[in-house]
Structure 1
Amino acid sequence: MICTEAVLADTPFVVRRRVKWGECDPAGVVYTPSFSEYVISTAELFYERLFDGRPQRTKDELGFGTPTRALAFDFRRSLWPDESFDIEVQVEAIGTRTYTLELTARMSEGRDTAFVARLTPICVRRGTRDAINVPASLRNALEQYRRACETHHLANPSHQGQTA
């Protein structure tokens, strides 16, 4: 079996993806909806790192969910079958009920930016789907991750935006 997705680094959190033929149109260009899958899949892996466990199970146990409130893309280049790209996650903002993750995808070779996405989940109570404040456990994990990334970038200024 060939892996088409792998975690490369924890701080900053980076996932490498390889474009599969089935994610493309007959001309070989990635379908626009496939980009949403790239972002959501990376976010789920990021939550697994934040919670040190299965993200949906952990959120169930803590009584909240994080459906998407907003998702925006800035496409910089096309992606083609068999190309690899690395998605880096940064915490852009933490609000009262929402937070925003910035996900920057760079080509594994050449490091050109393929796209930048902003994912804004809203925290809801499991079962009722009522909006709630960002749970303390999630807020603390997001803040810790953001501080760790800032420290990493200060210690490695020439490596900003690059994976190890």
Structure 2
Amino acid sequence: MSETFSIRRQVEFNHCDAAGIVFYPRYFEMISSLTERFFSDALDFSWASIGLAEGYGTPMGNIEVRFHAPSQLEDWLDLSLQIERIGRSSATFLITCACEGALRFTCKATVVYANIKTGGSEPWPETPRAKMSRYLTASSQN
């Protein structure tokens, strides 16, 4: 059975527009935060250690988001991540955001393991790649 990585965030005033709903670019910041926490907390592969110390990063190669319903000031959002595919140097994340079980957005995002100096992709190191496999969706494992 695959694992799911999750974080919980409350919608703050700085996330909202004048109508008190989340301004959609702020969701992209939440996606970035979820991704950063996933690498750090689930994989023990923090952006600080790989980027500053080793000269690598995981830039976003593609992102597709479908918005289902608005979020409002002080809503508690549950953001979750599973992995659809792990390639040689990329991984496709399936991300959901819900509030009290109601979907707010779904996202499919592909990150690339890249050398910051050259800008070229590199194969995933074995340890984080092995840890990522625990988050592969059940349909990906068949």
| Same fold, judged at TM 0.5 (above) | yes
CA offset at residue 56 of structure 1? 1.6
Select 1:64's aligned residue among 47, 52, 56. Answer: 56
Q: CA-to-partner distance for each residue in 1:33-85, whole Å, 9 max, x for gaps?
A: 101001000111111123336x1233134542111101110111001101111
Show the 5 A alignment for 1:7-156: 11-52=3-44, 55-60=46-51, 61-107=53-99, 109=100, 111-146=101-136
Structure 2 unmatched runs, 5+ = none
Equivalence for 1:158: none
Q: 1: CA distance between counterparts of 2:134 and 2:5?
A: 13
1:19/1:84 contact within 8 Å kept: yes
- Number of aligned positions between the proteins: 135
1:74/1:116 contact within 8 Å kept: yes
Paired-residue identity, %: 25
Q: 2: CA distance between counterparts of 1:27 and 1:113?
A: 20
Q: Secondary structure at the match of 2:41?
A: helix
**Structure 1 residues 61-70 or 96-105, which shifts more?**
61-70
Equivalence for 1:157: none
Q: 2: CA distance between counterparts of 1:126 and 1:51?
A: 20
Structure 1 unmatched runs, 5+ = 1-10, 151-164
Q: 2: CA distance between counterparts of 1:62 and 1:144?
A: 25
Which residue type is aligned with residue 48 of structure 2?
R
Higher RCO (Cα < 8 Å, 6 or more apart): 2
Q: 1: CA distance between counterparts of 2:129 and 2:54?
A: 13
Q: 1: CA distance between counterparts of 2:126 and 2:56?
A: 11
Off by >6 Å, runs of 4+ in structure 1 = none
The TM-score with structure 2 as length reference comes to: 0.85
Cα distance change of structure 1 residues 90 and 68 upon mapping to structure 2, 3 Å threshold:
same
1:100/1:119 contact within 8 Å kept: yes
